[in-house]
Structure 1
């Protein structure tokens, strides 16, 4: 099957200018791999971390963790998908920024007919992230009030919808009136403009002083202390991203001062380590979409060749909802 495909590669860490459009070899899939011809590719903030070196990986390498497409070939040990199947993945090895690729079969799930390739590419990583955040990291229950930072972003917009469908009250933070309205449109119970309002005070007012049992924080350094102050005693701080930079120099004594708080720094890979757990999480996600509880909001589309522009838009907070990379 050996052939050549176009892909994005980086030879050094840096800004968007290091993203190169190159031709790379594509071999036949190994026994436990699936070859997928991509129809759409997802863009996520974690891609920037690998590009700029915050998350180191041996160079040169590709970028991207999620995509959707059609199975072109399967290894001899692969039985859950076949050639011609519509599939998606959201936790692959680096390298989704490509026209086609081989990927471990246990990362690949069938994409239901009611969900488009673009929706699949836009939803997998962010949707599976929301699944493990709301269903596994903390067992969110109907009637809970939770705080979710960056509620108008790709993960936040999905979390607002999913939580709302569960009967959960989401207090969402955002940086502008427009983004606050988006969060409300997606089901947020209340919103806070973190650029102009005192987040801690507003949470105190909204909860009648009780504060929240869990804070979901994908922003990182800029919101770390604020998030801790919004928790009730023995509350859980879920730090799942670093959009403003990594949290460093943590004094564990602060957790005691705020009421014996818990902190976790989860990653998706720990919650979907097998085909069975991946399929179960994806089935939960797909069911929410097909039931109409989650609408996949694709705010931006960029041709794969123009991925540098997509990175610039994402890093400058100019995007809303999900961003996908398209192929000709």
Structure 2
């Protein structure tokens, strides 16, 4: 939980007026950093902190997440207003955005999915067009050799969180090491771009109020974001959510349409897109295994924590399949 007395002191130090007692409630749905809604009698904030178990090297860096959200305040990218970052926690505080989250299939009731699809593409194209150096993010990542480093990084993450041997994952890794696409001009990369990492206007779901969960953001190849968004349409993601996911609904345009709509709106060539998809499936499989590892360590009890590991074989198989096309 959160030390509310210390949080109150931090907010006060940063000039935030508190009215009444602070109350904290964990926000469900997260599979990585812990997220809480903290409120007093008149206002509310969101507090993020790393999980208590299952940490992987370089993951769950909330301070890094705060830095990019703070930098994006000067752009038209929809993000939560930043309040403070505490290195000793570590934890970060941003303003609470009362948006609608489309996490499960049931959340899509009454929603025009085509309109949300267009908004997802619009915001992603805008994010990739942000002049990152001009907003102080010139050193936020190392774009050179980005794809190859991602492959190696997620292999290291697998070695750190794996709860079993999976020969097909070794094969997927080997194929990815042999298929590095040509370098592309660098952009900000969100790293986990999907519909349930957005807060939508409750009255108008076709309008995004905030893009959240920036913990894997960096500078790199924008097509990795597009491929990531495509992989979340795979049925195996239902295991991670713990029930039919919003992103796996057949009401969405398929991955091919999604990728082509991005290409049309951004003017970018999709290039060797199957290779990007292979990496995205590899990465999502490792993330799902990490959730399983935290669950087995006793650090997860939400829907999807117990079943996330069931997604891994299907995601790896799909990664091998797309690389073979």
Shared fold, TM over 0.5 = no
Shorter-chain TM range is: under 0.3
> Taking structure 2 as the reference length, what is the TM-score of the superposition?
0.24
Higher relative contact order (CA 8 A, sep 6+): 2
> Taking structure 1 as the reference length, what is the TM-score of the superposition?
0.24
Which of the pair is proportionally richer in strand?
A: 1
